[in-house]
Chain A
Amino acid sequence: MNLVSLVMPFGVFVALLAAVGLYCLIVTRDMLRVILALEVITKAVTLLLIVGGLVSGHMALAQAFVITLIVIEVVVIVAAAGIVIAVYKHTGTLDIRRLRNLKG
């Protein structure tokens, strides 16, 4: 049993996690939940980075990446939340179907 087959379960879980996030991203009608879905996908990717480091034996590098990723992630979430709140102030709802003024 080598290292690669040992980390295979991680790979499967990453895929499942990402699938959950993507599914939610597409079907949800709540703008804040869109952000949550993005977060779930981010979790999957974080895990994948760690697993990648584990497999290749570059754990320190992977950790460095994950730390950077987490910092950036926070900023993205803040920006997204800011936009959602501003939209809410305009429309009084979080329904994503209200974001269809621009079309055609």
Chain B
Amino acid sequence: MDPTFLKQQLLMNIILMGAMLLGALATVMLRQLVKAAIALAFTSVVLCVVMFKLNAPWAAVFELSVCAGLITVVFISAVSLVKPATEEERAAHIRFKTRRYFLLPLVLLLVGVGLSYVTGQPLPLPAAEPAGTELRSLLWGPRALDLLGQVLVLLAGVWGVVMLFKEEK
């Protein structure tokens, strides 16, 4: 990858990152769960854009369709099974939020400041993969085991749905 290209993109990337961070903050802090789920989807979408920009189109597509799409659907349907909160609970939540989350900016600041102190000898980079390695051949070749794992995990997910969601007679 061309370093000058990256340099040009740096500002853009930082803006995108900022958007993602805002999305994450919204996810954790928004009062209503539906809105929080949508904020999460927003975060996913931004992540998807970042991936596109970082030359990871396939991962970006998955991120968009599965994380931004499917997970949001799962989430909203889960939320819909839950009764809406009463006024009292909402008030409690707001009180609680202002009490609990006021430390969050401080924590973030501390993490950022702490990371800026991290220095060290730069590590040498490993040899890059041969040019033109295709995701498809990689997935079905050396990573076939992961695919098998995916199938099994999906099967487990199916039983999760069967056993946890199905109404018992």
Interface residues of A (CB under 8 A from B): 1-7, 9-13, 15-17, 19-21, 23-24, 27-30, 32-33, 35-37, 39-40, 43, 46-47, 50-51, 53-68, 70-75, 77-79, 81-86, 88, 92, 94
Q: Mark B6-33, 1 if CB is under 8 A from A, else 0.
A: 1100100110010011001101110001
B91 to A: closest C-beta gap in Å: 14
Closest 6 pairs (CB-CB, A-B)? A57-B128, A82-B164, A75-B157, A24-B28, A66-B59, A13-B17
- Chain B residue contacts of A36, Cβ below 8 A: 27-28, 33, 36-37, 40, 75
**Chain B, residue nearest A22 (CB):** B107
- Chain A residue contacts of B123, Cβ below 8 A: 4
A19 to B: closest C-beta gap in Å: 5
Main secondary structure of the interface of A (DSSP, over half): helix
- CA–CA, A7 and B133, complex, Å: 22
Main secondary structure of the interface of B (DSSP, over half): helix
Interface residues of B (CB under 8 A from A): 1, 3, 6-7, 10, 13-14, 17, 20-21, 24-25, 27-29, 33, 36-37, 40, 43-44, 47, 50-51, 54-56, 58-59, 62-63, 66-67, 70-71, 74-75, 78-79, 81-83, 96, 100-101, 103-104, 107-108, 111-112, 115-116, 122-123, 125-129, 133-135, 138-139, 143, 146-147, 149-150, 153-154, 156-157, 160-161, 163-165
- Chain A residue contacts of B156, Cβ below 8 A: 75, 79
